[in-house]
Amino acid sequence: MTHPYIPNAEPGVRAEMLAAIGAASVEDLYAVIPAGLRLDRPLDLPEPMASEHELVAHMRGLLARNTDTTEVLSFLGHGCYPHHVPAVCDEVNGRGEFLTAYAGEPYEDHGRFQAMFEYVSMMAELLEMDVVNVPTYDGYQAAGTAIRMAVRYTGRSKVLLSGAVSADKMSKLRDFLDHDVELVIAPVGAGGEIGDVEIDETFAAIYLETPNVYGVVETRGRELADLAHGVGALLVVSADPISLGVLAPPAAYGADIACGDIQSLGMHQSYGGGHAGYIATRDEERLVAEIPSRLFGIAPTAVPGEYGFGDVFYDRTSFAHREEGKEWVGTAAALWGITAGVYLALMGPEGMRELGETVLARTRYAMDRVADAGARVLHPDAVHFREFAIEVPSSDGLLAALRERGIFGGVRLDDRTLLVCVTERHSKDDIDRLAAAVQEELA
């Protein structure tokens, strides 16, 4: 059978092509690989699914063993968030012209360049910063790179890192930075915000997250920016962009570099597969020079009034200078960027504001209801966005009991602490249902 994916596997055309190049067999073309390196048996792989129907049946059978979050009431967050994905996001994301294109050249792929330019431009408005990169892999990578940018920019090697960062992200940051950056962890204060901060002229930056791992919105941004700038250091802030319809963008309180993840802007949870990272700075040549990823800019063409696009300051990249470039650049997460652009265009300023208000209000409502139900809510006086931590007699016990009732109650932080996530997808009734279940289980 000629495989449906391989047109030239058809024997007649193979013979024609071999004749054209004067080879007796395809085997001849592999003559360059020494016999000792040749695999002398077929690969030991499962039997293939010869027909598309069989493949579908096989995949459906496997995937049916998953319970997805539309089948239960899920309050899971902790870095991957269940925000509503507008249908238009899926429609654009699935267009074959975008989905199957390479990161091509500005002429034949004008549409991609414009869509990416518009994504970074909308992020720039949300962030109030003039320079935003083409997405990097995820928020972890964006944070690691943003910190490295500050280290290179200042020529210093110490960074003060908020302790209110998830353990997984800390693991990534340690692997990425530990060999040449000294990470000093700032304790978490009693209110859930970053605690006491002391830095001096040896520090490259303060790194802050808001909302932080406990869902707490940091309120001392301006103070920390002044502190950092006072000793010649930078303020690097990781902010979830979906909060910025209501929360002040990092630049507004003096951050020099903003970074974060855009999964919340129109990407499905996809078992953690929907992540992409952003990095933003002001338009200062020395800062821009430290961004490793591609930057797309607008440029005139031979026809007046026409917009063209191209790479900005390509000379920074490893594509241009290998190890002499800044970190590295390769295929990352461009289509998630285009999709996030669609999301921001659909939402507009009012949509982003309303969404922020809804999430803020429902988070507070959930905190109050769950506290009434008998759980101890941590940091009750802090402003929370989308997540909050609760203390219960047994994390595992409560989660197991809630599961019996069709509820994924939250993410286990430790034996007694759970993180609960509430978005615009959780109605008042959903929250009441969670609170009632918690009350019965803790009673």
Site string for other proteins, 286-315 (x = CB under 8 A): --x------xxxxxxxxx--xxxxxxxxxx
Find the largest Cα–Cα distance for the chain.
83
Query: Which of 383, 389, 398, 418 is in the footprint of other proteins by CB under 8 A?
Result: 383
Q: Are 127 and 242 in contact (CB under 8 A)?
A: no
117 contributes a contact to other proteins by CB under 8 A: yes
Contact, 301 vs 277, CB < 8 A?
no
Q: Give, as ranges, the residues between 223 and 242 that touch other proteins (CB under 8 A).
A: none
Quick note: the x/- pattern for other proteins over 166-195, rule CB under 8 A, is: --xx-xx-xx---xx---------------
Q: Binding to other proteins by residue 11, rule CB under 8 A?
A: no
In the chain the first and final C-alpha atoms are separated, in Å, by 66
Round to whole Å and give the CA distance between 205 and 211. 19
Site for other proteins in 18-37 (CB under 8 A): 18, 20-21, 23, 26, 29-34, 36-37
| Separation of alpha carbons 227 and 253, rounded Å | 12
Give the nearest distance from C-beta 157 to other proteins in angstroms: 12
* Among 211, 222, 203, residue whose Cα is nearest residue 161: 203
- Report, in Å, the least distance between residue 370 CB and other proteins: 13
Query: What is the closest distance, in whole angstroms, from the C-beta atom of residue 410 to other proteins in the complex?
Result: 9
The Cα–Cα gap between 132 and 288 comes to 9
Q: Please say which residue, 137 or 207, places its beta carbon nearer to other proteins.
A: 137
The encoded tokens of residue 216 equal: 């707490």
CB under 8 A: which stretch of 44-52, 183-191, 199-207, 435-443 binds other proteins?
44-52
Instruction: Find out whether 259 and 236 touch, Cβ atoms under 8 Å.
Output: yes
Q: Which is nearer to other proteins, 353 or 376 (CB)?
A: 353
Q: Which residues in the 312-371 window bind other proteins by CB under 8 A?
A: 312-315, 318-323, 325, 327-336, 338, 341-342, 344-355, 357-358, 360-365
CB of 377 vs other proteins, minimal distance in Å:
15
Report which secondary-structure segment, H or E, holds 294: none
How far apart, in whole angstroms, are the C-alpha atoms of residue 82 and residue 245?
A: 18
The count of chain residues that interact with other proteins, using the rule CB under 8 A, is 204
User: What SS3 class is residue 85?
Assistant: coil
Q: Which two tokens stand for residue 251?
A: 């630049």
Site for other proteins in 405-434 (CB under 8 A): 408, 411, 424, 427-428
Binding residue for other proteins, selected from 55, 57, 190, 436, defined by CB under 8 A = 55
CA distance 411 to 349: 31
Q: Which two tokens stand for residue 419?
A: 């993180």
Site for other proteins in 146-165 (CB under 8 A): 148
Query: In whole angstroms, how close is the CB of 12 to other proteins at the nearest point?
Result: 10
Cα separation, 63 vs 420, whole angstroms: 27
The residues in 245-284 that bind other proteins, with binding defined as CB under 8 A, are 245-249, 252-253, 261, 268-276, 283
**Residue 436 vs 443, nearer CB to other proteins:** 436
Classify burial at 176, counting beta carbons within 10 Å of its beta carbon; exposed 0-12, middle 13-18, buried 19 or more: middle
